[in-house]
Amino acid sequence: MPPRRRHQTRIELVQGTLDMLILKTLNAGPRHGHGIGLAIRSGSDDALDIDHGSLYPALHRLERRGWLAAEWKLSDNHQRAKFYRLTPSGRRQLASERSRWRRAVDAIARIMDPA
């Protein structure tokens, strides 16, 4: 059997989950945008690869909602980068998103694998 190509093992995100994944990633501490994308990718064993065209608009939207705060700093490779961190409101939103996600997963599991 031929090896799988990387794009064949990728998973499409369920609508609305990108915000939750960003909030969860930043729960561990501040990161710049590219670092957030890398953390999601590595945390999913390369199954989720968020393109910049989706990631950066989401970061800006979350910042406008007050769930993230951002400041410009130098990255590890001495490049100027915008670092994002969770706000207290963002932590509350993450808890809400996590609860909603668990209810959705449980509901889908009941349909997919009825007792």
Neighbours of 86 (CB within 10 A): 23
Q: Report the distance separating Cα 115 and Cα 27, nearest Å.
A: 35
* Domain residue ranges in the chain: 14-110
Instruction: Write out the chain's pLDDT in tens, 115 residues.
Output: 444 455 556 777 666 799 999 999 999 999 999 999 999 999 999 999 999 999 999 999 999 999 999 999 998 888 999 999 999 999 999 999 999 999 999 999 999 998 7
pTM for this predicted structure: 0.85
The amino acid at 56 = Y
Structure tokens at 27: 């729960």
The topology (CATH level 3) of 14-110 is: Arc Repressor Mutant, subunit A (1.10.10)
